Structure 1
């Protein structure tokens, strides 16, 4: 009897556990269903604005493309009109240029003919001039040659104011000597007492002792 009672108690417990498990599983399923429904709702809420935005972007793109194509066609038409007008003007101007070009060509031909005639006249030599020119040229050349020889033979006068002719005196020293009052080669070759005092200021210059002898060579 005790064993039967224990089995009945166990069966009751198992049944209760099964019932509770069924209840909890059904609740879990309900919660999952509700969560999925909420997720679908949120997804729909997100998708609708995105779809609207994409639709608006497509419409805007279509409008801009249409406007661009219309503007392009309008500008292209204006360009063709301008091109045609320019071509018409160029056609008229080219005809006028051809007409005007014929006149200068004729005048140029006349000028070339006149220049040819003048050149022929200038090319004919005069008889008197041709006969006398060789003799006069032969007479004039010896005189010119002798005059040139005399000029070349005459020695050029030396510039005694150029102190750089003296060996050892450079441009800087010559400038200082000029400032001191030594302005001639003679003042160094044959210096006076006053010149000697002036020259003493340059005694430290290299080769000062030979300046007098070198100046005499220049003279």
Structure 2
């Protein structure tokens, strides 16, 4: 009868290989070389990611520009444009409503522009796909044009913000509005949230001025 020789339970944790002593300077050099290699690999990975993203964007631009009956709109600073406001229509499709005109005041790129609201000077950023040329830059801002903006966007023009109050019934802040072309008797109290969407620049100026009055009264 054969029998395997008895083993040592600790043999699995033993290493018969000879331990080699390495100087600290050598370890430091290896560590520096290792981290340098990792940094190079990381930088190459980042370059590859950026290059791939740029290639995809270029391919998408070429695909869009290559479509039939699609012509790229050439826009310049000073031109008047309509901006497309996207809203959810019935069903899965989006509905675009064209508002304005607005005036282009800065070109961030060939595809992204900053436009100015002719009524209150509020600025916003838009992609060229959401802009339509309305008139070239040599047009003048007339009262008729401002009235046209108000008509297109379905509302009155705010002439001045007069006062503010807290409405306890619906627990909201409201501002008294003087409407252009309407009498003082037709002034109305409008929710701040609505005015922030319509005339954010005027609201910001009013709040700043109103806060200064409050500080002077408290003093």
Query: Smaller-chain TM-score range?
Result: under 0.3
Q: Tell me the TM-score normalized by structure 1.
A: 0.24
TM (norm. structure 2) is 0.24
Higher strand share goes to which structure?
2
As a proportion of its length, which structure holds more helix?
A: 1
